Amino acid sequence: MKTSEAAGIRALHAQPQPSGADGAIEGRKVRIAIVGLNFGRHIARALRGEPLAKLYDVAGVCDLDAARARQIADECGTGVYRSLDAILADPHIDAVGLFTAPAGRAGLIRQIIRAGKDVMTTKPFEDDPDAAAEVLAEAQRLGRFVHLNSPTPVMPVDLQQVLDWRDQFDLGRPVGCRLETYASYHEQADGSWLDDPQRCPAAPIFRLGIYLINDVIRLFGEPEAVQVLESRIRTGRPTSDNAQLTIRFRNGALANIFCSFCIGDTQHYRNGMAVNYERGTVYRNVGPSHQHSSMAEMAVVTPEPGAGRPHIEQKVLPTCSGQYQWDQFHRAVTDRAAGVHTDPHLVAMGLKVVVAMARATRSGCVERV
C-alpha cells in the first residue's frame, strides 16, 4: 500500500464528532471540488461514503491527467473541471480540496482564498515554511479557512490526553520521546518526485513521519536542531526506505522518530509514541494490537504516591492524530463564526524541521532548525 492509499484509508475512517445536543452536525452540505487526483481520488471516494456524504457534496474533480479526472468523476457521479480557474469562477463551489504536490502549494492556496473559497489540503503543507506561514496569515485576514490533516486546526484527542495526564499527575518537564511508524512497500522507481532525494529527503520520514514531527512539536514546543540517519534495505527507488530523525528542543527534550517501508508485521501506520516526563511516561499505540490504525490506545505510568509501585491508567480513544477533521472544516465553512483557523506558527515549525532534515541528509551533521 502506498502513502496516498494509507491517507485515503485515514480519511475513510475519520468520523465527524457531534456538535449539537442531539449529536448531529447542523448545517447544509458543503460543495467541494477536488484538485489533484493521484492523492485526491481517495478523498473524493471517502467524501462520497457515509458518514461524510451527509456533510459534503463532491461537486467536481480536476487533474492534469484528463483521463484520470473523467474516470474518477464517473466513479463518483460528478463532473470534471478543466482547470483550477474554472473552479474558482464557479459561484456554487464553497471549498477546494487541494491535493497537489507540496512544492508551490501556498501560491495555489492564495489564488483559492482570494477567490473567496476555503481550502482543505494535506501534509506536508508546503516545502517553504515562510510561504506557508504567510498564506495562512493571509487566510485569517481574509476570513477564509485553510485546514489540513497534520497539524490539525484543533488539538487531536490523543495528544490532548497526553497533556491532560501530564497535568493531572504532575509529571513534570518533558525529557524525551520515541515515535515510530512503518509499512511494507515494494516500490519501484517511476521517475516521480518520490525518486528524488532533494524533493523527498529521508523518504520514510518525509512521507510517513510528518505526522510524528507535528505531534512531538505540539507536545514539546520549539525545535532547535536535528540529525538524520537513513539506509536502503529493499526499495527499488533511489531514495531511502529506512530512516530515523532526532530532534533536540529548546527546553532540552530529545525526540527520536523512526520510519520504515520495510516492516510487514500487520501493524502499519500505528504512529506509536512513548513520551517521557520527569515523573512518568505516557504511551500511545505501543505494543501489538488488534485495533484499527485510526484508533489510539493510551496509557500512563507514574509512581503511586507513597506506595513505591506504579500507578497505571489506560484508555482507548476513537481517533488518532493525523486524521482530517472534516467536522471542523464543515463547521468553519457553513458557520463562519464557529470556524477554527490553522495555526501558522505551528505549521511553520514542522516545515522548518523538514528543511533542516533535508540539509542534515546532505551534510551528515547536526543542523540547526
What domains can be seen in the chain, in order of their start residue?
3-149+324-338 (3.40.50.720), 157-321+352-368 (3.30.360.10)
Name every residue whose Cβ is closer than 8 Å to that of residue 136 and which is 6 or more positions away in sequence: 146, 341, 342, 343, 344, 347
> What percentage of the chain reaches a pLDDT higher than 70?
92
**DSSP one-letter code for 285:** S
Residue stretches of the chain with pLDDT short of 70: 1-27, 293
By the 8 A CB rule, do 315 and 161 touch? yes
User: Is there a cis peptide before residue 151, judged by omega within 30 degrees of 0?
Assistant: yes
By the 8 A CB rule, do 285 and 270 touch? yes
Instruction: Report the predicted TM-score, pTM, of the whole model to 2 decimal places.
Output: 0.88
pLDDT value for 26: 52
300 grid coordinates: 500512563
311-318 CB contacts, 8 Å cutoff, 24+ apart: 311/169, 313/165, 315/161, 316/291, 317/157, 317/158, 317/161, 318/15, 318/157
Name every residue whose Cβ is closer than 8 Å to that of residue 196 and which is 6 or more positions away in sequence: 239
Helix axes 157-168, 210-220, angle to 10 degrees: 30
